[in-house]
Structures are given as structure tokens and as C-alpha cells.
Amino acid sequence: MAVLYEKVALIGLGLIASSMAHAMRAAGLAGHIAGHAKTMQTRQTALELGICDSVHDSAVGAVIDADLVVLCVPVGAMEVVAAEIAPHLKPGATVTDVGSVKQAVIAAVGPHLPQSVAFIPGHPIAGTEHSGPRSGFASLFRNRWWLLTPLPGTDPAAVSRLRALCAGMGANVDEMDAAHHDLVLAVTSHTPHLIAYTMVGVADDLGRVTDSEVIKYSAAGFRDFTRIAASDPTMWRDVFLTNKDATLEILGRFTEELFALQRAIRTGDGDHLHAYFTRTRAIRRGIIEAGQDTDAPDFGRTPPPNRLA
């Protein structure tokens, strides 16, 4: 594939940035990949792994002459990075981000950037519960959606170049309004994470079931919750603090539905439970038909050796 950006600067070198670096390399999309992360340890790891062509002690050092700057830091850190790099951006460059929340990032980053750059907020709907530069891999974005939320008046040529980069990394690209993005993600990602955190917290607090029983007898449902609840605490703290309204709205609806199911259980309303579970099963089927998950039992996972017996 042809080089789309001569120089790409990745600010933050965790799961998403390192996956982008691997994917851009694999597809030959970037001439030079420069990187910066906050701590010396992460920068050192990135150097050892060869994720970037150059690793810089400052964000400013990384963005000099960059044609594309990608902010890959937690949502709460976007503003400080944007303020720092803004005076040093190359005129004509594109700045994007990969933050899980869009309205808050636009409000935090947008005012700092000069008119001479195109700011195109983005969010790859791809991830794992792992973080840091060692956790990235080239196929993370393959067949996943990458949502862009361009602001009115953004240069269409800059948007189509960024779309080509995302597609070149294997993603399906879509555009939507930032407020709609935040609502959709509150339903599909943010509230489910909060529920998983809560369920694992409840199991941990429940004195009548010991910790060892929770671990030993963990059934598929609970194990899936624990995987989600192992996600990075900084990233998820920032998601809830910045996508507050949409998360609270969906959480309100969730609580109402939970009360309805609670009542159905108490009153023995099997029809209600059966109809509800039939509807949710159809949603799962839809996700599989859309190619967004596997229908293999237990997500196709191989049981760990101690569970083979």
C-alpha cells in the first residue's frame, strides 16, 4: 500500500498506539513513526520493541514536522497534551485522537489547536483488557469499526486521507456526530463496563461466598465480567467522568429494566423472563451475523490446562 503520511507522531504508546504502529508498518502506510509517552519506562520499552522509528522525551519533539498527530493518551490527559503541542504543529497537518469519548475530547482539545491544522476526532472500536506498549498487535483493528466525528467545515481531503489510513489498518470506517457517538458507546461499551465492574465488586464483597470459591467455581458469565473488569483503571475512570450524561441516561434505563426483571422473578412471571431472553438472544445473533464476534462456544477460547480435565 502507498505511504499516506510521511511522518506520523503517536502521543501515548499504549495498547492503541502500539497496535497502530504495528498495523501502519505492516501495511506500509507511514514513512516515519515518531512516538512519545509520559514515563521513561514506557519510552524505553517502545525503543526496545522497535515500535517507533524515533522515540522522544517530549510530545513537542515527536510532533515536529509530523503530517499526522494521533493523541493516544487517556481522555483526561488529552487537553494538557494538546496545549503543549499546539504551537509546534506543522501547518496543513492532521490531528486526530483515539479517545473513547468524543464530545469531551473535542471540548478539551479543539480550542488549543491552530486553524492551520485539521482536527478530526476518532475512536477505534477495538481493544482488549491489556494496556501498555507490549500489548499491541497489528490485527487489532481488522474488521472493527473506526468511528470519525469530523466537525463541520473540516477539509474533506484530510478526512478522506485519514479514512484511508484507518481502512489500511483493516478497519471499517464510519462517520457520525460526536454526541451520537457518546450515546451509542454508552450503550455498547461504557455502561456494560460499569456493570462488569459492579458485578465483580459485588462478588468480592459478598462475605458468604469466599474469594477462593469465586475463583474456583467461576462460570462463563462471571469470567467474562472479570475480563472486562480487568481493564485499565485510568482509562475507564476518565471515560465515566467525561461521558457522564450519556452513561447516566443508559444506567437509568438499565436500572428500570433490572427492576422489571427483579419483579418478574419475585412474582414467578416466566413468560416475561422467557420473552426478554429471547429478544436478547436475537441481538447476540445479529452481532455474529455482522461479523463482529464468533459463534464458537465460549468465544472459541481454549480452556487453561487446569480446566481441561
Q: Contact residues for ligand NAP (CB under 6 A)?
A: 11-17, 36-39, 42, 59, 72-75, 77, 80-81, 98-100, 123-124, 127, 131-132, 232, 235
Q: Which is nearer to ligand NAP, 45 or 94 (CB)?
A: 45
Q: Which is nearer to ligand NAP, 13 or 117 (CB)?
A: 13
Residue by residue, DSSP assigns 125-163 as: ----S--SGGG--TTTTTT-EEEE-PPTT--HHHHHHHH
| Least Å from the CB of residue 147 to ligand NAP | 10
Q: Which is nearer to ligand NAP, 55 or 203 (CB)?
A: 55
Q: Which residues contact 219 (CB under 8 A, 6 or more apart)?
A: none
| Least Å from the CB of residue 31 to ligand NAP | 22
Q: Which is nearer to ligand NAP, 74 or 170 (CB)?
A: 74
| Least Å from the CB of residue 49 to ligand NAP | 12
Closest CA to 9 of 28, 36, 31: 36
HSE-CB for 221 with a 13 A CA cutoff = 3
Residues forming beta bridges with residue 119, ordered by sequence position = 95
| Least Å from the CB of residue 141 to ligand NAP | 10
| Least Å from the CB of residue 7 to ligand NAP | 18
HSE-CB for 202 with a 13 A CA cutoff = 8
For residues 225 and 218, what is the distance between their CA atoms, to the nearest angstrom? Answer: 10
Q: Which is nearer to ligand NAP, 85 or 250 (CB)?
A: 85
- Residue found under cell 458468604: 208
The total of other beta-carbon atoms located within 10 Å of residue 269's CB is 15
